């Protein structure tokens, strides 16, 4: 009797077991090299099926040496592309061809392989796949009711995270380091249980890493060369909550039911974000909303009425395309981390789907800032109008996100009005942050006391002024804000002329770009006691009254005989700006700049314009 076993029955160990039972005594077992190559590839990838198959081949060799059967290895080794595309049937075709050429019976537990062989005239014997009953995983011995995760690694004592949400400790479970054989046995048990049990499925199977979901356990099995040793990390939720268990529950319910929202659930790892997301999902389902999830891997513990989707063909964008055809009322997007995730979240939200995304962030505002640059600024409140920050299993902060067209807090000029994203405390409706564009950059500014000299607006203004001045100065630069419209910049003595520029042109350009009046002074002036507040000149100082001329493009201050001097221009003794007199004996200020507007306003009100040495 000649038989050709395929990969499935070799992995199951069914040939040697049936030889032991006498069914295949004296048979010639023709092993295709394609089977050997596939098993070797699986073993190199760290898959237990490969190791189990190779063990079965060793048993067959032992049976051959004892004279019980005869074993032959025939055929060619599969190409790399054939091993990579084994699921496409290339290796199965090689095995069928050998059975046909040798006039042998194909032995398989793969129903598809059997059906294809019969249709091509190959004699087939089909066995039932070997299945095992798994009441529980072997690693469950390490879990108790307070254990969130177990960590097993070769050469290291078993460890576990235990405690309550937000108060976890990393504990040693045993003093003895684990051996490689022990860890591999746990891995084999996990893989076998996942493949045999309908409550288990493989989320990721790549060389060196397998991630599976078995009931409520999410398990990662890492092996060399991906990791420096065989390691198993098993995680499970230790608590299941309802939305009523959290602060602001009634208000959040009303908000979610009012209309479909864009919600970001933020928090640090282990804070309880996913647990809260599960509670939201269950509440929405009970409220008669159609709810789906997008997860990779799928580990949210939700009821069967909520369908859990993973990445379709490895891409969440394809999952989103499918869900848009299904049109759920709400989608829970677990682990929004990469740019692609944020873009998918935004696309679905802008298509009208209610979205709840789980985001890693150490502060509530950080969740919104992760959208900046990934989503057009003006669309952020449409994408995420609610931020819920979870800390130690509790709702620590809720933000309401809206857009207003206004002058950002701390800025004064009406022409500085712009769209501003307002982040308000959900309970008090008090603004806490503003997000807007400032000098072509997106800034996030804490909203506080307008008189606070260290307010967010002041910090941003100082940074922008310093950045501009440093671009033309070589030495040290310091910025002192006098108010929201004026600042003093302190520079080295050798930098004063390059910062001010010919005829004050360079500093005027900077003032125009920033919309703020800048007084440039040297550190030497400060060290010798010169005023840093740019007050009116002291009595007795040499000041010159001038009559500025307003042209179509400039406001010109005549300063004959003072070419090259650095002077202060004042109106009724109030400081306006500092400039260097041009070689032509005048100061030109471009109309439309903040400085020119102040000067023209002073002229219109009949104020006395004076100039004094700086």
Query: What residue has token string 């002036």?
Result: 525
Give the separation between CA 54 and CA 52, rounded to whole angstroms. Answer: 6
Q: Taking the mean position of all CA atoms in its chain, how far away is CA 29?
A: 53
- 303-308 mean pLDDT: 91
- 462-470 mean pLDDT: 83
* 261 or 207: which leads in pLDDT: 261
280 three-class SS: helix
pLDDT at 15: 92
Least confident of 121-130, 348-357, 459-468: 459-468
pLDDT at 464: 80
Over pLDDT 90: what percentage of the chain? 41
Angle (CA) 110-114-116 rounded to 5° is 120
pLDDT at 133: 64
Whether the per-residue pLDDT at 48 is higher than 80: the answer is: no
pLDDT at 271: 85
In the structure, what pLDDT confidence band is assigned to residue 535 with cuts at 50, 70 and 90? very low
Whether the per-residue pLDDT at 131 is higher than 70: the answer is: no
Same fold? 2-126, 243-446? yes
Query: What residue has token string 């235990």?
Result: 162
Give the separation between CA 99 and CA 60, rounded to whole angstroms. Answer: 18
In the structure, what pLDDT confidence band is assigned to residue 479 with cuts at 50, 70 and 90? confident
Least confident of 241-255, 272-286, 423-437, 448-462: 448-462
pLDDT at 414: 65
In the structure, what pLDDT confidence band is assigned to residue 450 with cuts at 50, 70 and 90? very low
Q: Cis before residue 225, ω within 30 degrees of 0?
A: yes
Residue length, the chain?
614
- 120-138 mean pLDDT: 83
pLDDT at 413: 64
Q: pLDDT tens-digit profile of 4-39?
A: 999 999 998 999 999 998 888 889 999 999 899 888
Under 8 Å between Cβ of 516 and 583: no
In the structure, what pLDDT confidence band is assigned to residue 304 with cuts at 50, 70 and 90? confident
Helices marked H in 260-405 — which ranges? 273-286, 316-326, 339-350, 364-369, 380-383
pLDDT at 408: 83
Whether the per-residue pLDDT at 206 is higher than 60: the answer is: yes
pLDDT at 108: 93
Q: CB within 8 A of 374, min separation 6: which ones?
A: 339, 342, 343, 346
Domain at 2-126: CATH code: 3.40.50.1010
CATH 3.30.450.90 fits 138-235, yes or no: yes
In the structure, what pLDDT confidence band is assigned to residue 528 with cuts at 50, 70 and 90? low
Q: pLDDT tens-digit profile of 350-403?
A: 999 999 999 999 899 999 999 988 889 989 999 999 999 999 889 999 999 999
- 539-556 CB burial, b ≥16 within 10 A, e <16: eeeebeebebeeeeebbb
- 126-142 mean pLDDT: 82
243-446 CATH fold:
Rossmann fold (3.40.50)
Whether the per-residue pLDDT at 88 is higher than 70: the answer is: no
Give the separation between CA 434 and CA 119, rounded to whole angstroms. Answer: 69
What's the whole-number average pLDDT of the chain?
Answer: 85
Question: Where are any strands of DSSP class E within 49-96?
Answer: 70-74
pLDDT at 91: 85
Q: Cis before residue 23, ω within 30 degrees of 0?
A: no
Whether the per-residue pLDDT at 538 is higher than 70: the answer is: no
Give the separation between CA 301 and CA 274, rounded to whole angstroms. Answer: 9
Whether the per-residue pLDDT at 336 is higher than 80: the answer is: yes
- 303-326 mean pLDDT: 91
Whether the per-residue pLDDT at 453 is higher than 60: the answer is: no
Whether the per-residue pLDDT at 441 is higher than 80: the answer is: no
Q: pLDDT tens-digit profile of 554-572?
A: 889 998 888 878 888 888 8
Q: pLDDT tens-digit profile of 55-65?
A: 999 999 999 99
Under 8 Å between Cβ of 208 and 224: yes
Give the separation between CA 47 and CA 28, rounded to whole angstroms. Answer: 29
In the structure, what pLDDT confidence band is assigned to residue 90 with cuts at 50, 70 and 90? confident
**Residue boundaries of the structural domains of the chain:** 2-126, 138-235, 243-446, 458-613
Angle (CA) 70-76-78 rounded to 5° is 120
pLDDT at 451: 45
Give the separation between CA 579 and CA 558, rounded to whole angstroms. Answer: 12
φ/ψ of 334, rounded to 5, equals -85, 135
pLDDT at 166: 61
Tell me 246's DSSP state.
S
Q: pLDDT tens-digit profile of 503-522?
A: 778 888 888 877 788 888 88
Under 8 Å between Cβ of 163 and 146: yes
Over pLDDT 70: what percentage of the chain? 91
Question: Where are any strands of DSSP class E within 141-216?
Answer: 147-153, 159-164, 167-172, 200-206, 209-214
pLDDT at 484: 64
């Amino acid at each position: 009797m000649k038989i050709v076993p395929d990969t499935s029955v070799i992995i199951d160990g069914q040939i040697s077991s049936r030889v032991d039972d006498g069914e295949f005594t004296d048979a010639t077992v023709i092993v295709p090299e394609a089977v050997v190559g596939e098993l070797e590839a699986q073993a190199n990838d760290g898959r237990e099926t490969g190791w189990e198959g190779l063990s079965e081949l060793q048993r067959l060799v032992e049976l051959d040496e004892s004279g019980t059967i005869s074993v032959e290895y025939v055929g060619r080794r599969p190409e790399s592309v054939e091993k990579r595309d084994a699921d496409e049937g290339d290796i199965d075709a090689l095995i069928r061809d050998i059975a046909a050429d040798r006039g042998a019976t194909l032995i398989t537990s793969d129903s598809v392989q059997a059906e294809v062989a019969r249709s091509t005239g190959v004699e087939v014997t089909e066995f039932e796949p070997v299945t095992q009953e798994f009441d529980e995983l072997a690693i469950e011995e390490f879990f108790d009711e307070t254990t969130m995760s177990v960590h097993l690694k070769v050469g290291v004592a078993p460890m576990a995270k235990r405690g309550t949400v937000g108060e976890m400790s990393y504990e040693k479970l045993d003093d003895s380091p684990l051996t490689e054989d022990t860890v591999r046995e746990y891995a084999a048990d996990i893989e076998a249980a996942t493949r045999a049990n309908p409550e288990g499925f493989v989320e990721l199977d790549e060389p060196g890493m397998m991630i599976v979901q078995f009931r409520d356990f999410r398990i990662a099995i890492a092996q060399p060369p991906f990791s420096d040793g065989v390691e198993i990390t098993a995680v499970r939720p230790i608590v299941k909550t309802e939305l009523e268990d959290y602060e602001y529950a009634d208000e959040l319910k009303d908000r979610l039911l009012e209309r479909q929202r864009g919600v970001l659930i933020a928090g640090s790892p282990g804070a309880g974000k996913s647990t809260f997301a599960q509670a939201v999902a269950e509440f929405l389902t009970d409220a008669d909303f159609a709810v789906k999830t997008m997860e990779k891997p799928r580990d949210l513990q939700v009821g069967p009425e909520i369908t859990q989707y993973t990445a379709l063909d490895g891409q969440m964008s394809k999952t989103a395309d499918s869900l848009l055809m299904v049109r759920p009322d709400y989608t829970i997007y677990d682990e929004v981390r990469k740019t692609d995730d944020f873009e998918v979240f935004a696309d679905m939200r802008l298509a009208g789907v209610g979205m709840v995304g789980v985001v890693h962030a150490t502060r509530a505002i950080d969740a919104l800032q992760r959208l900046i640059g990934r989503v057009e600024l003006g669309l952020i409140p449409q994408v995420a109008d609610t931020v819920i920050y979870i800390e130690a299993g509790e709702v620590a902060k809720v933000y309401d996100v809206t857009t207003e067209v206004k002058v950002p807090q701390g800025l004064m000029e009406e022409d500085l009005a712009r769209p501003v994203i307002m982040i308000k405390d959900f309970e008090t409706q008090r603004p806490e942050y503003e997000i807007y564009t400032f000098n072509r950059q997106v800034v996030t500014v804490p909203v506080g006391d307008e008189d606070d000299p260290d307010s967010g607006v002041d910090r941003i203004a100082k940074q922008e002024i310093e950045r501009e001045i440093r671009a033309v100065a070589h030495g040290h630069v310091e910025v002192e804000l006098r108010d929201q419209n004026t600042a003093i910049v302190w520079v080295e003595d050798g930098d004063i002329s390059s910062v001010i520029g010919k005829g004050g042109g360079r500093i005027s350009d900077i003032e125009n770009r920033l919309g703020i009046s800048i007084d440039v002074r040297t550190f030497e002036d400060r060290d010798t006691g010169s005023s840093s507040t740019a007050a009116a000149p002291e009595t007795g100082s040499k000041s010159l009254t001038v009559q500025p001329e307003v042209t179509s493009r400039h406001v010109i201050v005549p300063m004959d005989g003072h070419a090259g001097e650095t002077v202060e221009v004042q109106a009724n003794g109030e400081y306006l700006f500092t400039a260097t007199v041009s070689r032509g004996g005048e100061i030109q200020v471009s109309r439309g700049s903040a400085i020119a507007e102040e000067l023209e306003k002073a002229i219109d009100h009949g104020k006395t314009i004076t100039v004094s040495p700086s």
